[in-house]
Amino acid sequence: MSKVKTTYYCQNCGMQSVKWLGKCPSCGEWNTFAEEIVHKDKKKTNLIVNTEHIKLIHQISLNEEERYTTKDEELNRVLGGGIVPGSLILFGGEPGIGKSTLMLQTALQNNLKVLYVSGEESEQQILLRAKRISYQNKECYILNETVIQNLIPVIEQLKPQLVIIDSIQTLTTNVLESAPGSVSQVRECAAELMRVAKTSNIPFFIIGHITKDGSLAGPKVLEHMVDTVLQFEGDQHYLYRILRTTKNRFGSTNEIGIYEMQGSGLRQVSNPSEILLNQRDEAVSGVAIAAILEGNRPLMIETQALVAASAYATAQRSATGFDLRRLSMLLAVLEKKYGLKLYQKDVFVNIAGGLKIEDPATDLALAAAITSSNYDIPISQKVCFSAEVGLTGEIRPVNKIEQRISEAEKLGFEKIFISQNSFKNIHSKSYHIHIIGVNKMEEMFQKLFKP
């Protein structure tokens, strides 16, 4: 007879407690503890020590080439070169961002034997979605199942090369009585999937929804169990989606993949800069291009600013895709060090394309865009910027400047403003693009607006 034990879990962070608590000591949330029944069949563990399984590190053989490379270059890159058999990949993102679409595309566009397990959509709904995506895979199996005990025999019998679970929040184990999506359900199901993945060497993609504030609500507790954590980001109302890794046991976490949501599914964007830049007939004021890095990928993005006289006593500041506090800092520097009078003016800034940028190399472009809008002087579309702005108005170097310069050159820019410190360390003669190293904001504005 199995022993029935109850424990209390915080539904927010997964903390376990033997008694009910009003406030979680771990995450500080109130009223989040719920009682859950835990059945554990205690098997007697075998305590025979077997030294035959111990290996010296050089005796272990590597099967490096054993990765499934998919047709999706972006996904391959983000995963570090393809899907590693037996790996558990958690795929998180806000509802509606396109997780199911990307996974169905992976299932349909590669010639692998795939099992797509959906607890969220009916077979008909999946077929409707599949019809929008072009597909060629003849071995894509669809299963509507939410109970993990029913699912595992199917996997063991079918022996697919890849399993996709959509989503972990809908899976339940009949050992527990708590609701689907609760922390203990999610954890139990993932542990069960991990066991199957590791013993059968089948890779698993596990979709998990994240909440609006950006945390993987239930699935957060899984991050330490899985091999790779992928995040799908972007604004639902914009076209672009960014695929990122926040953890990867088989590759770097610096890579990103960019997709565009179209009527026929997600399209890989292999030349992001060209798409993110607006082609205009003539230069307009308030626009400056920044050469930034997203992960290891150089990107040219358009920063836009609008400076207008304020109708109210307190001027408005608003930023889309850029940190508002950083904007306030930039405005203060422009005011104090460059004498720009902004205190009675509203300032709005925007990063085109709906991207959220954290690279400090955006600073200089944004400062230029704000100044350009303030004086209503356009900046040539052939000029770009890549440097951080310090509190004293100094222009600071950013990492991997050569990569940024090369990207700007490749896209036909004629001038790039960088920090004088970076300028000293590069061979400016080896580039066709005119590289200008500057130390101070004044110096840059001199060269930019009064050539």
Count the site residues for ligand TYD by CB under 6 A.
14
Please report whether residue 100 would count as binding Mg ion according to CB under 5 A: yes
Q: Under rule CB under 6 A, which residues in 222-261 are in contact with ligand TYD?
A: 261
Please report whether residue 264 would count as binding ligand TYD according to CB under 6 A: yes
Rounded distance between C-alpha atoms, residue 421 and residue 335, angstroms: 24
Closest to ligand TYD by CB, 76 or 105: 105
Q: Under rule CB under 6 A, which residues in 138-157 are in contact with ligand TYD?
A: none
Please report whether residue 265 would count as binding ligand TYD according to CB under 6 A: yes
Rounded distance between C-alpha atoms, residue 438 and residue 292, angstroms: 18
Closest to ligand TYD by CB, 169 or 371: 169
Q: Tokens 């022993």 appear where?
A: 3
- Please check whether residue 409 is in contact with residue 431, taking contact to mean a CB–CB distance below 8 angstroms: yes
Closest to Mg ion by CB, 100 or 304: 100
Q: CA–CA distance from 168 to each of 159, 164, 199, 339, 434 (Å)?
A: 20, 10, 20, 55, 52
Scanning 94-102, 294-302, 304-312, 402-410 for contacts with ligand TYD by CB under 6 A, the matching segment is: 94-102
Residue 95 binding: pick among ligand TYD, Mg ion, none (C-beta 5-8 Å cut-off by kind): ligand TYD
Per DSSP, which regions of 58-150 are E strands? 88-93, 114-118, 140-144
Taking residue 8's Cβ as centre, other Cβ atoms within 10 Å add up to 18
One-letter identity of residue 80:
G
Residue 298 phi/psi, 5-degree rounding, is -75, 145
Closest CA to 294 of 244, 248, 234, 347: 244
For ligand TYD, the binding residue among 99, 244, 326, 404 (CB under 6 A) is: 99
- Cα dihedral 312→314→320→325 (10° resolution): 170
- Please check whether residue 125 is in contact with residue 132, taking contact to mean a CB–CB distance below 8 angstroms: no
Closest to Mg ion by CB, 93 or 354: 93
Smallest separation (angstroms) from Mg ion to the CB of 98 = 8
- Please check whether residue 189 is in contact with residue 148, taking contact to mean a CB–CB distance below 8 angstroms: yes
Smallest separation (angstroms) from ligand TYD to the CB of 158 = 23
Rounded distance between C-alpha atoms, residue 372 and residue 109, angstroms: 47
Tokens for 167, please give them. 């989503």
Smallest separation (angstroms) from ligand TYD to the CB of 115 = 18
β-pair partners for 5: 38
Smallest separation (angstroms) from ligand TYD to the CB of 273 = 23
Scanning 94-102, 225-233, 246-254, 268-276 for contacts with Mg ion by CB under 5 A, the matching segment is: 94-102
Rounded distance between C-alpha atoms, residue 431 and residue 404, angstroms: 12
Q: Which residue is nearest to Mg ion (CB)?
A: 100
Q: Tokens 């101070």 appear where?
A: 440
Please report whether residue 95 would count as binding ligand TYD according to CB under 6 A: yes
One-letter identity of residue 212:
K
Closest to Mg ion by CB, 110 or 118: 118
Q: Under rule CB under 6 A, which residues in 100-129 are in contact with ligand TYD?
A: 100-101, 129
Please report whether residue 93 would count as binding ligand TYD according to CB under 6 A: yes
Smallest separation (angstroms) from ligand TYD to the CB of 93 = 5
Please report whether residue 132 would count as binding ligand TYD according to CB under 6 A: yes
Closest to ligand TYD by CB, 127 or 332: 127
- Binding footprint of ligand TYD on the chain (CB under 6 A): 93, 95-101, 129, 132, 261, 263-265
Name the site residues for Mg ion (rule: CB under 5 A): 100
